[in-house]
Amino acid sequence: MTAPDVVARLVAELGDRVDVSDAALAGARADKSGHAASGSPLAVVTARSVADVQTTMRIASETGTPVVPRGAGTGLAGGANTGAGEIALSLRAMDRVVEVRPDDLIAVVEPGILNADLNAALAPLGLWWAPDPASREISTVGGNIATGAGGLLCAKYGVVRDAVLGVDLVLADGRLLRLGHRTVKGVTGLDLTSLVIGSEGILGVVVGATLKLRRLIPGEARTIAATFGDVRSAAVAASAVTAAGVQPAIMELMDATSLAAAHRLLGLPAPTPGAAQLTVQTDGPAAHAEAEAIVAVLAGAGGTVRLAADDAEAQQLWTVRRSMHPAMETLGTTLIEDVSVPRSALPAMFDEIARIEQRFGLTIPTVCHAGDGNLHPNFVFSGTEVPDVVWDAAEDLFQSALRLGGTLTGEHGVGVLKRRWLADELGADQWELQRQIARVFDPAGILNPGKVFTP
């Protein structure tokens, strides 16, 4: 069947859910990584129901047409980029909260709801859903699940797989499976819910989720800022906080370049040249005592430490951190990386980044979820194509992280940008096994082909 025939079938069965305008097609080519698929998709289908998704997959399956599932397009690894000959299947319009059970601490949602909108709906009930990517204002819960996107709170409140009890999944051939359960415990059969979390659209299309909620944390949060003469000292201090047995809710590290860029963007006074900053939040009934303990650890590690006097000061500190992404964009085109290492290895990983900057003559401003060991080094360059030297430096970065007991990606996923290093981490046997598992879900390989695994 030719491409026009596929589009005609989609239109015949799905009507105005199918968009072939240039703007829609161009938009579906890219995510927030700054990278775009080559060529233009066949069509963008905006599903409004599970049945729409099933219809799309049935047509795709019968015509052998690849499908790329897509939320809000905020991914950073190219996982949702849709190229020539492919259908972009948007879940963004399926954004209802289907059910909230405060007594059971669960919510059932459609995948297209934004993280921030979900938490806005839950807050009046005294509830929240913990996964907290920095993009929470613009990213969807479904995308969060599909990538396993964690965020700032993971060390204390867990990763995505800890916060999802069940997933409704449409398979490549259009069949609907209900995976998981609504109960706190459940071990009936294989845990396919966890397998789908972070699977980046290659196993099926997430059309619904049963989420494990938390009660809003009582008490007042405290915020601490500490500056250090260099980034390594800040990393040593962050590891010391974890090792001291205090549990921050959030602990973020900004190196000198990124801190200065954020201050510049926000029109704040320039920080001391070379200074790196740790910003830490404690919460819950022991927030005050924990904040005081952390102040002591950071001061002992040589930091200039300040406990925010009030909420306004705390908010400003967090605004600096949350403006990191736009601040990076003021420096040039960026390739943002996402390695994660054991927390004790943070100082060594910053040493490696300094070495890589030297070796390749690059600037690599880095922000880091220091509470959990997840670093986001930003490779800055000019133009739209990633230069070879940046790829070489990224390769060095990945190998360094693996040597330190780390992983390629903590929360962004593999997508297209990291697939060529996947086997380095998994080993050839596991890589092949994973590929075979994906084939069980999608024998013809029409779901997000070329993502995660090399073609």
Measured from the CB atom, the residue of 333 and 400 that comes closer to a copy of itself is 400
Site for a copy of itself in 222-281 (CB under 8 A): 239, 242-243, 245, 247
Measured from the CB atom, the residue of 46 and 55 that comes closer to a copy of itself is 55
Instruction: In angstroms, give the least distance from the CB of 164 to a copy of itself.
Output: 11
Measured from the CB atom, the residue of 113 and 346 that comes closer to a copy of itself is 346
DSSP track, 356-379: HHHHHT----EEEETTTTEEEEEE
Measured from the CB atom, the residue of 309 and 440 that comes closer to a copy of itself is 440
Instruction: In angstroms, give the least distance from the CB of 247 to a copy of itself.
Output: 7
CA distance 435 to 202: 10
Q: Provide the mask over 193-212, with x wherever binding to a copy of itself is found by CB under 8 A and - wherever it is not.
A: -xx-xxx---x---------
Site for a copy of itself in 271-310 (CB under 8 A): 284-286, 289
Number of chain positions touching a copy of itself (CB under 8 A): 85
Measured from the CB atom, the residue of 284 and 302 that comes closer to a copy of itself is 284
Q: Select from 29, 35, 136, 343 the one that contacts a copy of itself (CB under 8 A).
A: 343
Contact status, residue 220 vs residue 281, Cβ threshold 8 Å: no
- Which residue, among 254, 228, 290, 251, has the nearest Cα to 373 in the 3D structure? 251
Instruction: In angstroms, give the least distance from the CB of 252 to a copy of itself.
Output: 14
Q: Which region, judged by CB under 8 A, interacts with a copy of itself, from 81-89, 230-238, 259-267, 335-343? A: 335-343
Q: Select from 13, 19, 191, 329 the one that contacts a copy of itself (CB under 8 A).
A: 191
Site for a copy of itself in 27-66 (CB under 8 A): none
Measured from the CB atom, the residue of 379 and 453 that comes closer to a copy of itself is 453
Instruction: In angstroms, give the least distance from the CB of 425 to a copy of itself.
Output: 5
- The pair of structure tokens assigned to 438 is 């994906």
Site for a copy of itself in 66-105 (CB under 8 A): 101-105
Site for a copy of itself in 421-440 (CB under 8 A): 422, 425-427, 429-431, 433-434, 436-438, 440
- Which residue, among 350, 421, 414, 443, has the nearest Cα to 148 in the 3D structure? 414
How far is C-alpha 406 from the chain's CA centre?
A: 17
List the 333-336 sheet strands across, edge first: 304-307, 222-228, 276-282, 250-254, 366-369, 374-381, 333-336
Helix (H) or strand (E) holding 398: helix 388-403
* Residues paired with 212 in a beta bridge: 106
Site for a copy of itself in 132-171 (CB under 8 A): 147-150, 154-155, 158-159, 161-162
Measured from the CB atom, the residue of 245 and 273 that comes closer to a copy of itself is 245
Site for a copy of itself in 349-388 (CB under 8 A): 369, 372-374
At 66 the three-state DSSP class reads: coil
- C-alpha separations of 187 from 106, 180, 184, 279, 324 in Å: 18, 9, 10, 39, 41
Residue with tokens 């390629």: 408
The total number of residues shown for the chain amounts to: 455
How far is C-alpha 313 from the chain's CA centre?
A: 27
Measured from the CB atom, the residue of 84 and 216 that comes closer to a copy of itself is 216
Return the amino acid letter for 101.
Answer: R
Indicate whether 413 belongs to the interface with a copy of itself (CB under 8 A): yes
- Which residue, among 11, 222, 182, 205, has the nearest Cα to 89 in the 3D structure? 205
Backbone angles phi, psi at 137, to 5 degrees: -70, -25
Instruction: In angstroms, give the least distance from the CB of 360 to a copy of itself.
Output: 23
Instruction: In angstroms, give the least distance from the CB of 78 to a copy of itself.
Output: 15
Measured from the CB atom, the residue of 210 and 277 that comes closer to a copy of itself is 210
Backbone angles phi, psi at 30, to 5 degrees: -125, 165
Instruction: In angstroms, give the least distance from the CB of 418 to a copy of itself.
Output: 8
Contact status, residue 143 vs residue 71, Cβ threshold 8 Å: yes
Contact status, residue 249 vs residue 153, Cβ threshold 8 Å: yes
Measured from the CB atom, the residue of 159 and 260 that comes closer to a copy of itself is 159
Q: Are strands 176-180 and 43-46 parallel, antiparallel or unpaired?
A: unpaired
- C-alpha separations of 225 from 8, 196, 304, 341 in Å: 58, 38, 8, 23
